[in-house]
Chain A
Amino acid sequence: MAAADAESQTVQEYIVHHLSYLTYGRHPDGHWGFAHSPEEASEMGFMAIHVDTMGWSIALGAAFLLWFRRVGLRASASNPGAIQNFVESIFEFVDNRVTEGFTHKNSLMAPMALTIFVWVLLMNTMDLVPVDWITGIAAWVGEHIFGFDHMPFKIVPTTDPNITMGMSLSIFVLIIWYSIKNKGLGGFLGELAFHPFGKWMVPFNLMIEIPTLLAKPISLGLRLFGNLYAGELLFLLIAGLLGLWQLPAHFAWAVFHLLVVPLQAFVFMMLTIVYLNAAHEPAH
């Protein structure tokens, strides 16, 4: 894996290469194109898009939804097949969590929880694909077909903070939207201003409640990102440093990661349910 490139590449270069994104954006001179080095990518600033993580994210989400729809269209109530049973067990698992955790009426909640859980699970699972397989093939294709030396190609979308924060900020928008819709603007602001210490301590209350509110999307997105990024980084360190000993080490870390992958997907879904449930509570 790493051994083939060992002569031409230091471990640091190897890791940096694997942590870089295939970035398409606006160069400082104003024209749009791919960034050919991490420096070029960072010069682009906000006006850039990570083609690799974005692409994998959309591909996995679309694959999951189209597959579920295909299974759903062929589903029969009286004679379910193995695949239908599998999908139904996921469906019922999510539906039960929503029924337990979300006590209000909102038909969007359960489908959103299902989307989050399966989509994030699939994105996390990409972490278990050996680090050089797809990235290596893509780098080879980039170098030999497109003349793009050291083309980065990241395949785990959830190791990109843009991906995790994109979702958590969307959920944050929904939290604000449903809070105002259900509590009224006054109720929502009142919860920020008059808790926990009553109306004589408004500045102090705001100092507590606003960070609490903002911490929800940030912790939601960064928790997922941090877990997967750390997992990925350790795979890279093992691949870069251990030589042949990487095989048992990879195996051990992958087994541990089998736990992290579904757990983080589950946590992301559960917290979404809990936050949105709180947003539906009437003001008090």
Chain B
Amino acid sequence: MDINLTIIGQSIAFAVFCWFCHRYVWPLFANVLEERKRTIAEGLEASAQAEQRLESASRQSAEQLDEAKASAAGIIEQANRRSAQIIDEARQQAQMEAERIMQAAQAEIEQEANRAKEELRARVSLIAVAGAEKILGRTVDQAANEDMLRQLAAEL
């Protein structure tokens, strides 16, 4: 084996290459891998957060749905009550109207009957005198029997 200056040359080359690699090559790849590792970790973290947010959002939406259902039920009930009230009021009004119309009709009937009575009362003396003339066969002096005829009409 011929050992010579080459061994020193190779030692120097080895030192220089190690230094170069340490200074200019290794950090490039170490940084890239580190950055990739960080990106992946951040991605996983973000997905975990997104999952949490999704969960809370779906919980919130369920709550809101429940609330909306409750308020809709309240509104329907209120509407039902209101409609029942309106129907009630309408019924009362209708009854009142009907009563009013009936009273008016009764009053009119009474009036009509009274009028008929008055008319009858006014004519009763004539009818009585005509009847009496037929019976007596002669004229009855209406003026002479005025008192009796008035008495008769008043009794009607």
Give me the interface of A with B, judged by CB distance under 8 Å.
Answer: 21, 23, 25, 41-42, 44-50, 53-54, 57-58, 61-62, 65, 68-69, 72-73, 75-78, 80, 87-88, 91-92, 107-108, 110-112, 114-115, 119, 160-163, 165-167, 169-170
Contact = CB atoms under 8 A, between A and B. Distances in A.
A112 B22 contact: yes
A49 B15 CA distance: 18
A114 B39 contact: no
A124 B3 CA distance: 20
Given A77-B35, A111-B26, A57 B10 contact: yes
Contacts of B24: 65, 69
A96 B7 CA distance: 30
Given A72-B32, A92-B33, A25 B4 contact: yes
Given A48-B2, A108-B22, A165-B7, 20 more contacts: A42-B2, A47-B4, A48-B4, A54-B9, A54-B13, A65-B17, A65-B25, A68-B21, A68-B29, A72-B29, A72-B32, A75-B29, A77-B33, A88-B32, A107-B22, A163-B10, A165-B3, A166-B13, A169-B7, A170-B15
Contacts of A108: 18, 22
A99 B9 CA distance: 30
B7 A69 contact: no
B31 to A, nearest CB: 8
B46 to A, nearest CB: 15
Contact of A166 (B14, B28, B36): B14
Nearest to B32: A75
Interface string B134-150: 00000000000000000
Contacts of A75: 28-29, 32
Contacts of B15: 170
B4 A54 contact: no
Contact of B3 (A23, A46, A80, A167): A46
Nearest 4 Cβ contacts at the A-B interface:
A166-B10, A72-B28, A162-B6, A111-B22
Given A166-B9, A166-B14, A77 B39 contact: yes
Contacts, number: 120
With most chain A CB atoms within 10 A of its CB, the pick from B3, B5, B28 is B5
A77 B1 contact: no
A253 to B, nearest CB: 24
A23 B6 CA distance: 10
Given A78-B39, A162-B6, A165-B7, A114 B26 contact: yes
Interface string B25-58: 1101100110110010000000000000000000
B40 to A, nearest CB: 10
Contacts of B20: 65
Contacts of A58: 13
A45 B15 CA distance: 25
Given A77-B32, A170-B14, A45 B21 contact: no
B26 A53 contact: no
Interface of B: 1-11, 13-15, 17-18, 20-22, 24-26, 28-29, 32-33, 35-36, 39
A266 to B, nearest CB: 17
A160 B36 CA distance: 41
A80 B6 CA distance: 39
B4 A166 contact: no
A115 B17 contact: yes
Contacts of A119: 17
B39 to A, nearest CB: 6
Contacts of B39: 77-78
A111 B18 contact: yes
10 contacts: A49-B5, A57-B13, A65-B17, A65-B24, A69-B25, A111-B21, A111-B22, A111-B25, A166-B10, A167-B10
A163 B25 CA distance: 23
B11 to A, nearest CB: 5
